[in-house]
Chain A
Amino acid sequence: MPQLTIENLKEFKEKISSPLTINQAEFRCMVCAGTGCVSCNSLKVRERLEEELKARGLSERVKVVITGCNGFCAEGPIMVIQPDGTFYRKLTPEDIPLLIEEHLLKGRPVEKLLYTEPTTKKKISAMKEIPFFQHQVLWALRNRGVIDPENIDESIARDGYAGLSKVLSSMTPEEVIQEVKLSGLRGRGGAGFPTGLKWEEGRRYSSFPKYVICNGDEGDPGAFMDRSILEADPHAVLEGMIICGYAIDSHQGYIYVRAEYPLAIHRLRIAIDQARGYGLLGRNILGSGFDFDIDIYPGAGAFVCGESTALMYSLEGRRGMPRIKPPRSTEAGLWGQPTVLNNVETFANVPSIIRNGGAWFASMGTGGSKGTKVFALTGTVYNVGLIEVPMGTTLRKIVFDIGGGIPRKGEFKAIQIGGPSGACLPASLLDTEVDFDSLDEAGAMMGSGGLVVMDDSTCMVDTARFFTDFSVDESCGKCIPCRVGMKVMLNILSRIATGRGTMEDITLLEELGHHIKESSHCGLGKTAPNPVLSTIRYFRQEYEAHIQEKRCPARVCVDLIRFRVDPDRCKMCGLCKKACPVEAITWEKKTPALIDPEKCIRCRSCIQACKFGAID
């Protein structure tokens, strides 16, 4: 294994130049092995592919590469064939022989395995022409699907560690901090604290040792940005941390990552081993004399441990509970020492900033929010997946251009942004630009970047209840408002959702919500009422329908749904009676069925059984 130095890193990179030449192959089959694709059997696809290639003696001409998350999770398992960039989706091992015959041997794309644009029904073969990818700008995710994350050479070939080399050879720590400040990079963990300022603070305190912590405790339901970055490009994160270490004069970093991310941890371990082997981590990095090492700490599964001070307590082996500030962590963090903690995505952005300059990064985005942001786009859109867009992109563009709009002729109703800390924004706010400040203004927050699109089959009371339930369970229990207040909010929501609410309940919710926001200690408590407050703010009529009309407009809240047989449509077939598990339906031949609302458990079996749409 070569010991890399500042001098020979470039040479080494040129030698391995582009990922394609590393293996000297004609084709590279980039099989997505992000958690999403792995869970729909992409590793079996790879296995079959390798077997078939071997059987046909093609192993030399065609290389199979396991990549991190491609991003287009809705279409998994995914494989992209390079160099032409053909995008195959929803592959099964059985598709492989055909694919080899057609694409690799005859040079003809396999039509049926290509992506179909849902509205025009057009087949698109090139990945970059698929609208989902077209509108994205990849920087944090620049290596996703392009390199094998378990091979450091591929990362180096794509400029990995070039930023570090630049820093160690030609920049003072102050210059590094200056560059990061110039870039306008703000923390991607949710609160958006300016990264350069944080580093500057961390440098200012002269108590040693100092620590760098990478926060990979991504806990928002539906968010998987950090996981994808760690799985697709772990070296970018390592490089960002080392640069930070150099900037603040720290020699030890920790990555706190969810234990529920085994693949990310696995790849990080490999990446750390490989970086150490090359002399990119550990003692005397790149022969510069600078020492920095990184260890991984798998978290024990508490949402609150994503809060920086709770995370540090957890790392110290204590109960994860946010502590009071001052002092800030940059003054006294881990083990009471100056500590700079940033999110995975923040660190992943650092190498590009160093390579291309802060001004380059600042040229993307809006006035207050620079660069790009990664989002996990889920919910009722065609294109579920991981996306990266420049700050300032409108929600509309994300939902309709990238996400491909709402399937099944549904109508856009709301977009939930920021998970349990965030808010539901209505259609009228679709032109809101995603940046820290305008989201804040809309009563939402960037959060770590979960975007859940909801159509008219989603009940907003139920949605608020879902997120509140999450916060109730995950409150660390320290502050009264969060611990007790959130539970009260949940109880009130349940009361409303079961038809026992009063109009006063809305006032109670608002009053409590504001109280919790202003008197809780940490970010979790301060934002936990957001899902409720935002749904009241933008969807008050739905709450009123639940309370006054005892009706759930989206027909989600089971206690408020009454199933009824439309006698005009009923063909008197009796299928519904057969389907009913609780004998709530009476039916005789040649009479329309009748549903006893007392017995009905609203399981919807009858609706599904009825072929004539007679049950409503």
Chain B
Amino acid sequence: MTQTIKLKIDEIEVSVEKGKTILEAAQSAGIRIPTLCHDRRLTPFGACRLCVVQQKGKSELLPSCFTPVREGMEIITRSPEIFKSRRLQLQLLLLNHPMICPRCEKEGECVLQDLLYEYGVLETLYPWERVDFPLDEVSPLLQRDPNKCILCGRCVRICDEVQGIGELSFIRRGIKTAIDTDFHRPIRCEFCGQCLDTCPVGAITSDCFDYRTKAWELQETTTPCPYCSCGCLLVMGSKEGEIKRVFSDPEKGPNDGNLCVKGRFGWDFVDHPDRLKTPLLRVNGTLKETSWEEALRFVVDRLEKIKERYGAETIGGLVSNRLTNEEYYVLGKLFRGGIGTELIASRSKGTALTEGLAKTLGYPASTNSIREIRKADCLLLIGVDPALSHPIIKNEIHLAIRRNRAQLIVLGSYDIGLSQSTRNSPLSLPSILLLDRPGSEVSLLNGMIQTILREGLEDREFIAERTEGIEGLKQRVLSHQPGAMPEVERAAKIYASAKKAMILIGSGLWSHLDQKAVAIASSNLALITGHIGKESSGILVLLEKCNSQGALDMGLSPEGSHLLNRASEGKLKAFYLVGEDPLNLDSEPLRKALQGLELLVVQDLFLTETAKLAHVVLPASAFVEKEGTFTNLERRVQRLHPLRPARDDSKPDLEIFLRLLELLECRLPAGTPEAIFEEIGRSVHHYQGIGKGEQWPKGATYLYADGFPLGRAKLIPPEEREPKRQSEAYPFYLLQRPSLFQSGLLSSRSEALKKVWEKPSLEISPEDAKSLGIEDGEMVEISNPKGQSLRLKANHSPRPARGVITVPYPCPILEDEGTDLVRIKSLKPACRQAGKEEVE
């Protein structure tokens, strides 16, 4: 148990946990102490000295931000000495601070400005010659004015402590001290903008802001992020319906006040000029603007005809994972009840993982919460680089490594930046790499399980009381597995003996060949070691999109790819696409099939490649224009707050679905998102009685604390499949690596993100490159057995396993999912000639 300390602050009795600081104690009692360098997320720094307080009867000034509370302390936060000291401090700060507040973006919310006002600081008597620092006006997205900087170090520290990047640091000494990049080069980092967010003055600004809006003119709306499944809460500052900037809410949401580049800067797609303005209807071969009534009437008439003529099973719907729970719910009603088909699906990557978990544990969802990661002391990452796909989770892992000395184990075909940094710093344990060919994941996991069972490291009590099937698992794993390699053994021992161990499984681009088996093997590993049903012990599935979990919870089939195949085969007559653009990656058979449909409806924000073929195009509203809820990967159901009404003649998806249901003369569910959510609560079992912002079921931050819904968790020997074999002609596995700045349809329409896109390059291990004679930075050509090829620069990288190469998403020669075998050809002059001959 943590010890409680009782103290008095300004005569108010406060009791806090031992180890808390005076500042934290004061804040918990609602007593305000001014600070500049303090940020709750960071280790106290003690630079601004504004937070000084006194002990009753003593004259010494104590910086409250790092002085721990002691029993019986009597603290005073206001006294003439304290006031004088703070005032003097501000006077000193003011000496080199340019007083150009009226043309500073921060005016109105600048902490320094507020404090100067509060402490009545106007000018100082002190002699001073201004020290001038060079500006940074060339970096993309972020601009810095070190003259306004007060050197509180928050940007430096958040970049280092939370992000693990260290792009900015203090340079020089004395009065010339400044914060800068090395050699004042332009910023080149993750562009998360956390520095911008934490800066208490206007020293870091963003060119995404228009520099015409004042802080007090901004209307703030809190809503979940539309990108990955972390579900970070964005605080969107808008003026007259136009978004001006995004900050974060430090108090709410799973993100602890942190945001990544997409969340902070990637919102501008909602105002992209390509946004659809009105419904479009194909008349004589061309799409013409039309009214909603006409467009929807057309859709309903066609649907009814097709159903009548070919049967309901020729009508299908494909939905993105970015709709709200309410929309999925009504869409389900529309298809199942209204049309009478079960062919409504999404292309969810990773739902097979959750399915696997449902089979062994009970719920098709992650077991724990994002913010528990930082408290774990062992983290097993399977086939995922959160730094690229789920940056907020990368922060959590970084915190676990940094503050908790967690052991990182990377399992898959590709090493990640996080683990490389652990090997550079003596402050962290070097991470363990279990890298092999794609498709070896289950075999590696079984290797770990084998070691644990063989060495008797399993949690026997847990296995006996709470699981079933241990004998079958033992039999399979102990008898059929070849002896594990030493690294696997080491990883197994560390995982088994950890106090709090978490498994993070990726669901994105580096898809596992057999997701379900990976999930089952992971849950076996967690179950036999008892690393489940506790805080910071469990399995997280890093789902891909903002409402992947919700789509699953609302009963949407994840088999969207099958549906597409069905369409390609010509088995569909009508296809309804919501937020999906399957022709984004060119596929000739699919194009032909779509062209042959009797009805193609595309409901989207933009006129996509697929929409250009549609009979009807319905303009949907963006996430900032609608209500409803998203469920993030940790089962947290968060409410969308619209900051403006639907733009132009677009409509929220929900309204469109309801109208269609009405036209189909079906029984309507409740009409408002609120009411529909209540209805969901009644019909979807685990959504019962949860408030907005809470996690299902019943607000549980982690699952299975009091047992498993199945009674006992199941240990199932997972099927091991032999990975695809390389051939001599095609010796490399090609993987797509997620890109931090470009993840799909939304990000590709963000002008801000475009500014920082990386040039596509191929990553290859130095050993493989050497054996092929490919130099670092050389142009190469990769080709697959289908005859498709791609030219790009090859970079030597320590990250891919031998025999694996990666290119950033989107890779035109790869299907949306999975890996492919390819060969690489160097394009050095000599080789190029040889190539030409071949062509000739």
Contacts and interface: CB of A to CB of B under 8 A. Distances in A.
Contacts of A481: 49, 88-89, 92
Nearest to A336: B427
A491 B130 CA distance: 12
A566 interface: no
B127 interface: yes
A494 B60 CA distance: 31
A477 B170 contact: yes
A291 to B, nearest CB: 19
Given A515-B88, A519-B85, A483 B174 contact: yes
Interface stretch (B39-47, B251-259, B372-380): B39-47
A474 B44 contact: no
B427 A478 contact: no
Interface string A476-489: 11111101110110
B583 interface: no
Interface in A324-348: 324-326, 335-336
Interface string B157-185: 00000000000011011111100000000
A512 B124 CA distance: 12
B66 A477 contact: no
Q: In the complex, which of the residues B46, B85, B93, B127 has the most CB atoms of chain A within 10 Å of its own CB atom? A: B127
Given A335-B426, A484-B95, A495-B127, A475 B174 contact: yes
A324 B51 CA distance: 14
Interface in A255-305: 302, 304
Contacts of A26: none
Contacts of B96: 484
A316 B427 CA distance: 9
Given A304-B173, A479-B47, A480-B49, A508 B126 contact: yes
Given A481-B92, A515-B88, A491 B128 contact: yes
B684 interface: no
A565 B47 CA distance: 54
Contacts of A504: 125
Nearest to A508: B125
Contact of A483 (B46, B125, B177): B177
Given A304-B173, A476-B173, A488-B127, A483 B49 contact: no
B154 to A, nearest CB: 13
Given A481-B92, A483-B175, A488-B128, A519 B61 contact: yes
A515 B89 CA distance: 9
A537 interface: no
B187 interface: no
Nearest to B47: A478
Given A335-B426, A474-B174, A483-B174, A519 B89 contact: yes
A411 interface: no
A319 B168 CA distance: 12
B387 interface: no
B243 interface: no
A214 interface: no
A321 interface: yes
B14 to A, nearest CB: 20
Contact of B174 (A321, A487, A492): A487
A230 interface: no
Interface string B245-278: 0000000000000000000000000000000000
Contacts of A484: 92-93, 95-96, 175
Contact of B47 (A316, A325, A521): A521
Contacts of B465: none
A475 B173 contact: yes
B172 A477 contact: yes
B123 to A, nearest CB: 14
Contact of B49 (A473, A476, A479, A508): A479
A360 B95 CA distance: 55
Nearest to B48: A480
Interface in B412-464: 426-427
A174 interface: no
Interface residues of A, number: 38
Contacts of A487: 128, 174-175
Contacts of A488: 92, 95, 126-128
A324 B427 CA distance: 18
A335 B427 contact: yes
Contact of A473 (B88, B125, B129, B173): B173
Contacts of A325: 66
Nearest to B403: A336
A515 B85 contact: yes
Nearest to B169: A319
A483 B169 contact: no
Nearest to B93: A480
B52 interface: yes
Q: In the complex, which of the residues A512, A519, A520 has the most CB atoms of chain B within 10 Å of its own CB atom? A: A519
A518 interface: yes
Nearest to B405: A336
Nearest to B166: A318
A476 B173 CA distance: 5
B151 interface: yes
Contacts of A321: 170
Given A476-B177, A477-B177, A515-B85, A483 B151 contact: yes
A491 B60 contact: no
A316 B66 CA distance: 23
B237 interface: no
A520 B48 CA distance: 9
B92 A480 contact: yes
Q: In the complex, which of the residues A472, A475, A483 has the most CB atoms of chain B within 10 Å of its own CB atom? A: A483
Contacts of B68: 326
B200 interface: no
Interface in A438-493: 472-481, 483-485, 487-488, 491-492
Contacts of B175: 472, 475, 477, 483-484, 487
Q: In the complex, which of the residues B45, B125, B173 has the most CB atoms of chain A within 10 Å of its own CB atom? A: B173
Given A472-B175, A483-B177, A508-B125, A477 B151 contact: yes
A474 B427 contact: no
A316 B160 CA distance: 15
A302 B426 contact: no
A492 B89 contact: no
A473 B49 CA distance: 21
A487 B127 CA distance: 9
Given A484-B175, A488-B127, A518 B60 contact: yes
Contact of A491 (B85, B126, B426, B427): B126
A479 B152 CA distance: 9
Contacts of A477: 151, 170, 172-177
B717 interface: no
A254 to B, nearest CB: 13
A478 to B, nearest CB: 5
A362 to B, nearest CB: 31
B332 interface: no
A520 B426 CA distance: 30
A477 B176 CA distance: 8
B18 to A, nearest CB: 12
Nearest to A303: B173
Contacts of B92: 480-481, 484-485, 488
B153 interface: yes
Given A478-B45, A488-B128, 11 more contacts: A316-B426, A326-B66, A473-B173, A475-B177, A480-B89, A480-B92, A488-B126, A488-B127, A491-B126, A494-B127, A515-B88
22 contacts: A304-B173, A324-B46, A324-B63, A473-B173, A475-B175, A477-B173, A479-B48, A480-B48, A480-B92, A480-B93, A480-B151, A481-B49, A483-B151, A484-B96, A488-B128, A494-B127, A508-B125, A512-B88, A518-B61, A519-B89, A521-B47, A521-B49
Interface of A: 302, 304, 316, 319, 321, 324-326, 335-336, 472-481, 483-485, 487-488, 491-492, 494-495, 504, 508, 511-512, 515, 518-521
- 5 smallest CB-CB distances across A and B, nearest first, come from A477-B177, A491-B127, A484-B92, A324-B66, A324-B46
